[in-house]
Structure 1
Amino acid sequence: MTLFLTSVQAIKVRSALEVGSQTLRVTVTDRCGASGQMDVIITVEPLVYTVNIDIKHDISI
């Protein structure tokens, strides 16, 4: 899977681990080879069919 974000370069997800009922801890690598982890918090509003993703990233260079 590849994520495209406006605030960071495109990154590749290497692994994802569920750490809470709505939280994934994701290990990623960017195009420059830097890698790190980010917690992805996913909330779903079923009546509106909206998915909000809050990403907190810590990528080491």
Structure 2
Amino acid sequence: MHTLQIQRQYMLILLNPHFHLNKLNSLRRKRKQKRKNGILVVNQMMTLKQSLTGITMILPYKTKKI
């Protein structure tokens, strides 16, 4: 990143801190949504047999931990 860009970012923070924080939060939300969508797509792509075996493998592991 260029020094001018960094200076501009700091100026924005100094002038209006809420603006920058909101921007960061919105970016984080977008990333989370992308991850969730990716997981959903993977689950849809899996066949019924694969998803069932996955569930049976996950469930006992979780119950043991609890």
Name the TM-score class by shorter chain: under 0.3
Structure-1-length-normalised TM-score: 0.19
Per residue, is there more strand in 1 or in 2? 1
Q: Which of 1 and 2 has greater Rg?
A: 2
